[in-house]
Structure 1
């Protein structure tokens, strides 16, 4: 999927752009309109009911996973934990059985709990692994997010457009739109 962030001064050009995309039958995977972080000025138009028809995904900056690394990190942690914790338990249980070490028995635990405690230690290791391995993002992404946050704080609207990887963005329609800048975020 290709992700493009189109920076606009107002909400109205975003609506017009989306209507033109629909007329051109451009396949869109997802489209989010991000409100400016600067809420001092009134960015709403008088016909807001037609905007709601076009933008079902109007959100604030901090509620979009693409723009908020903390939300993305939490999702990655949950996904990793869902398979690392059980895998860690099985690995710890297997290791305790294969090596026949008496680590916990030497600490005063009953010998029958040796394998179970080994599995528990493996499970804890899986949880820690999911926590620490889910944290990183690239410097390029951080720089792009800083630029987008600054634009949003300056009062600009952000239109996030996700297209299938094989589809080229509609450059002709984008040229007609009163966009200030277009930022391409990684291709997946």
Structure 2
């Protein structure tokens, strides 16, 4: 999927843009509206018509995985741990069985627990592997996130659109709005 962050001056413009995209039947996989980090401008002077609500909810900048690398890293760690911890246990158990080493028996543990302790060491290795391999972000993504955060701190609203990878943003519709900037963030 392709992810695009459309930076808008006000919430009303984001609502109108999304309505136009839906009228044009643009296939949107996910849509988030992120309020500015310095949110003083739009709350008082804009009433939302609840009968025609476009967004399911308005999000905070720090609660969106795309904009917060720490949340994305935690999600990757959980996913990796799901696979690496059981795999590490099985690998440790198999290694202890195949090599018939007496590492833990030499340390005073009962001989019967040798294979199980080898599996536990493999499981710990899998947990450490999931922690360290979840890693960070690329420099290009980091620069994009810094630019997006700066715009949000300046009071701009962020409309995050996720589209199927084969679908291009409808530029004719977007040019019709008062959009100062569009940032495309990686394709998955």
**What TM-score comes out, normalization by structure 1 length?**
0.96
CA contact (8 A) 2:69 2:136 kept: no
Report what 2:29 is aligned to.
Answer: 29
CA distance in 1, matches of 2:177, 2:33: 15
Quick check: 1:31–1:57 contact (8 Å CA) kept in 2? no
Q: Distance in 2 between matches of 1:118 and 1:110?
A: 13
Give, in angstroms, the shift of residue 10 of structure 1. 0.6
CA distance in 2, matches of 1:60, 1:138: 23
Mapped partners of 1:113, 1:127: distance in 2: 21
- Could you list the per-position Cα deviations for residues 7-64 of structure 1 after superposition, in whole angstroms to 9, with x for gaps in the alignment? 0111111111111111111110011000000023344544313497101131010000
Residue 78 (structure 1) aligns with: 78
Over aligned residue pairs, what C-alpha RMSD do you find? 1.3
Distance 2:180 2:91 in 1: 53
Deviant stretches of 4+, over 4 Å: none
Cα distance in 2 between the residues matched to 1:86 and 1:160: 36
Alignment match, 2:137: 137
User: Which residues of structure 1 form unaligned runs of 5+?
Assistant: none
* Distance (whole Å) between structure 2 residues aligned to residue 134 and residue 103 of structure 1: 31
Aligned residue in 1 for 2:179? 179
- Segments of 5+ residues of structure 2 without an aligned counterpart are none
Displacement, 1:115?
A: 0.3
Three-state SS of the structure 2 residue aligned to 1:71 is helix
Structure 1 CA distance, aligned partners of 2:45 and 2:31?
A: 20
* Pairs within 5 Å for 1:88-127: 88-127=88-127
Q: Closer, same or farther in 2 for the Cα pair 1:49/1:180, shift >3 Å? A: same
TM-score (norm 2): 0.96
Give SS of 1:96's match: helix
Cα deviation per residue 1:81-118 (whole Å; 9 max; x = unaligned)?
Answer: 11100000000000000001010011011111100000
Residue aligned with 2:180, SS: strand
Is contact 1:102–1:111 with CA below 8 Å preserved after alignment? Answer: yes
Aligned residues: 188
